[in-house]
Amino acid sequence: MRKISSLFAGAAALFLSTPVLADNHDPMALQAKGLEDTVAYAITEGLTTEIGPRQAGTEAEARARDWSVKKLKALGFQNVRNEPFMMTTWVRGAETAEILSPYPQKMHITALGNSASTGDGGIEAEVAYFDSLAAMRAAPDGSLSGKIAFVTHDMHRTQDGSSYGTYGPARFIGPNLASQKGAAAYVIKSIGTDYHRNPHTGNTNFREGVTPIPAGALSLPDADNLERMIKLAAKTGTPVRMKVMMTPQNIGQQESGNVIAEVTGTDPSKGMILIACHLDSWDLATGAFDDAAGCGIITAAAKNVMDHGQPLRTIRILWAGAEEVGLWGGKAYAEKNKNQNQNHAIAMESDFGADKVWRVEYKFPEAAKDVRTEISQALSPLGISISGPPASGGADIRDIIASNNLAIIDLQQDGTRYFDLHHTPDDTLDKIDPAQLRQNVAAWSTVLSIISNSDADFTMPPKE
Ligand SMILES: [Zn+2]
């Protein structure tokens, strides 16, 4: 039997095998290797277990940077370093909410980043209800005076995550608008798609000249409960009164930093490939989806390329600091590298969880269209679609793309369950599906293998 099967294997190899590239950068070989990856999971497990929550500007993020530098060195990368920068830092305090009347009961709330404090005594006020941000925008100025403005939404799961763009502004700009209209405080139905009793935090911003007010998110079931109470109480003209207590504070300028590592290429004159994730997380969870997994994915893929021999172009890994609280890391990186167009060719980011890549998008110059075709074909076996809008990049590479006019590739992940977990205490390691994580590494390995060894001209035409 053994003899016959080995004979057969020999014949099959002669007649059936596709030609094996002598080149050790064969993207399909790296893709196959990526499907067996263990590095991405190990990084995600390490960050979530050994560090845990790592809010930017805090001691936990500093520990995360130390861990990261050690880890990236141990993996064999070159030029591993921490590039510190300073940032204003907001930290959470105590937070409680309750309905006082007519249906007294406690609610689950969390403060939004940059929320003002209510003071220890909290704020008690009538709730002014709006079924959308647009409805609150239409309210006359001054009509919210002394009230707690409450905005709900009808966000549902979408594969591309676009519902976040539709409903997110209730968090991003709602508090600013409520303050301008005189509200004492602002609460939203969490910007999310789960039905756990976990509020979703996230940043908000008050424009200069606008007084910050306390702003928080209720868990989705609590917000729905409040909405029912308001509709019921309205039948008898009874106001709903609520008490909110949140005591966050600003602790001034603190240090954050970008952790950087490289696979140096053979030709430094060729623009490098910048690949990014963010190291910081919100404080409520260990940030497995957002964004330890992203750091795991990009790093595992870069290591896969490195392990197959030195590429033509340098691959630079950016584990950005302070994304969640205002994109400070991306800004600091762009500031340091702006106008060095020769240094960067293409930018990519992974910051949308750990579920499978379903679509590839490009912003490429015409001169590189053959590379685009090669990548699209090579990704087909992973079930990745090539139709899609132009790539726009991620939050941490936004500024360097803008300042240096870079080409972009987006490997879009399935975001169907992303906003179930986003910025909640539920964003933990157990949510990572190892098979889907490996598919990400395989996709990234394929793309990095091709572009880091391509001498195509990726220079974008000048912006209009
Ligand atoms: Zn993120």
Q: Global pTM?
A: 0.93
Examine the domain organization and report whether 149 and 189 are in the same domain: yes
Range of the structural domain that residue 342 is part of: 4-90+252-452
CA of 191 to the centre of ligand 1 (A): 14
- Domain assignment present for 462: no
CA of 218 to the centre of ligand 1 (A): 21
**Mean pLDDT, rounded, for 218-232:** 98
Examine the domain organization and report whether 48 and 128 are in the same domain: no
Q: Are 292 and 47 in contact (CB under 8 A)?
A: yes
Q: In what order do the strands lie in the sheet with 95-101?
A: 105-107, 95-101, 241-246, 123-130, 148-151, 185-189, 215-218, 109-111
CA of 60 to the centre of ligand 1 (A): 17
Of the residues 231, 247, 263, the one at which a domain ends: 247
Point out which residues pair with 95 in neighbouring strands.
246
Residue with tokens 């969390």: 110
Examine the domain organization and report whether 266 and 408 are in the same domain: yes
Instruction: Tell me which of 4-8, 199-203, 290-294 is least confident.
Output: 4-8
- Contacts (Cβ under 8 Å, ≥6 apart) of 9: none
- Domain assignment present for 460: no
Whole-angstrom distance, CA of residue 291 vs CA of residue 87: 20
Q: Is 448 exposed, middle or buried (0-12, 13-18, 19+ CB in 10 A)?
A: buried
- Domain assignment present for 386: yes
**C-beta neighbour count of 87 within 10 angstroms:** 21
- Domain assignment present for 286: yes
- Contacts (Cβ under 8 Å, ≥6 apart) of 147: 125, 126, 127, 128, 183, 184
Whole-angstrom distance, CA of residue 272 vs CA of residue 275: 10
CA of 299 to the centre of ligand 1 (A): 16
CA of 458 to the centre of ligand 1 (A): 27
- Domain assignment present for 461: no
- Domain assignment present for 459: no
Instruction: Tell me which of 30-39, 251-260, 340-349, 412-421 is least confident.
Output: 340-349
Given this model, what pLDDT does residue 3 score? 38
Given this model, what pLDDT does residue 172 score? 98
CA of 437 to the centre of ligand 1 (A): 16
Examine the domain organization and report whether 301 and 208 are in the same domain: no
CA of 352 to the centre of ligand 1 (A): 6
Residue 15's pLDDT band, with cuts at 50, 70 and 90, is very low
* Domain CATH number, residue 302: 3.40.630.10
pLDDT of 165-184, one tens digit each?
999 999 999 999 999 999 99
Residue 463's pLDDT band, with cuts at 50, 70 and 90, is confident
Given this model, what pLDDT does residue 387 score? 82
CA of 298 to the centre of ligand 1 (A): 14
CA of 101 to the centre of ligand 1 (A): 38
Examine the domain organization and report whether 222 and 136 are in the same domain: yes
CA of 351 to the centre of ligand 1 (A): 5
CA of 407 to the centre of ligand 1 (A): 21
- Domain assignment present for 10: yes
- Three-state DSSP class for residue 49: helix
pLDDT for residue 412 is more than 60:
yes
pLDDT of 376-410, one tens digit each?
999 999 999 998 899 999 999 999 999 999 999 99
Examine the domain organization and report whether 151 and 53 are in the same domain: no
- Domain assignment present for 464: no
pLDDT for residue 224 is more than 80:
yes
Examine the domain organization and report whether 329 and 368 are in the same domain: yes
CA of 37 to the centre of ligand 1 (A): 22
- The radius of gyration of the chain's CA atoms, rounded to the nearest angstrom, is 25
Examine the domain organization and report whether 301 and 444 are in the same domain: yes
Given this model, what pLDDT does residue 25 score? 80
pLDDT for residue 11 is more than 50:
no
Residue with tokens 């609460």: 187
Residue 341's pLDDT band, with cuts at 50, 70 and 90, is low
pLDDT for residue 136 is more than 70:
yes
CA of 357 to the centre of ligand 1 (A): 16
Examine the domain organization and report whether 281 and 414 are in the same domain: yes
CA of 80 to the centre of ligand 1 (A): 22
Given this model, what pLDDT does residue 17 score? 41
Examine the domain organization and report whether 107 and 148 are in the same domain: yes
CA of 116 to the centre of ligand 1 (A): 23
CA of 432 to the centre of ligand 1 (A): 15
Point out which residues pair with 101 in neighbouring strands.
241
Of the residues 198, 227, 247, the one at which a domain ends: 247
* Domain CATH number, residue 193: 3.50.30.30
Q: Are 311 and 356 in contact (CB under 8 A)?
A: no
Percent of the chain predicted with pLDDT > 90 = 92
Of the residues 229, 247, 265, the one at which a domain ends: 247
CA of 152 to the centre of ligand 1 (A): 23
Q: Tokens for 17?
A: 């095998």
Given this model, what pLDDT does residue 24 score? 65
pLDDT of 43-70, one tens digit each?
999 999 999 999 999 999 999 999 999 9
CA of 324 to the centre of ligand 1 (A): 6
Given this model, what pLDDT does residue 14 score? 40
pLDDT for residue 9 is more than 90:
no
Q: Tokens for 181?
A: 């209209």
Look at the chain and report how many structural domains it folds into. Answer: 2
Q: What is the DSSP string of 60-77?
A: HHHHHHHHHHHHHHHTT-
CA of 211 to the centre of ligand 1 (A): 28
Examine the domain organization and report whether 326 and 385 are in the same domain: yes
Examine the domain organization and report whether 74 and 206 are in the same domain: no
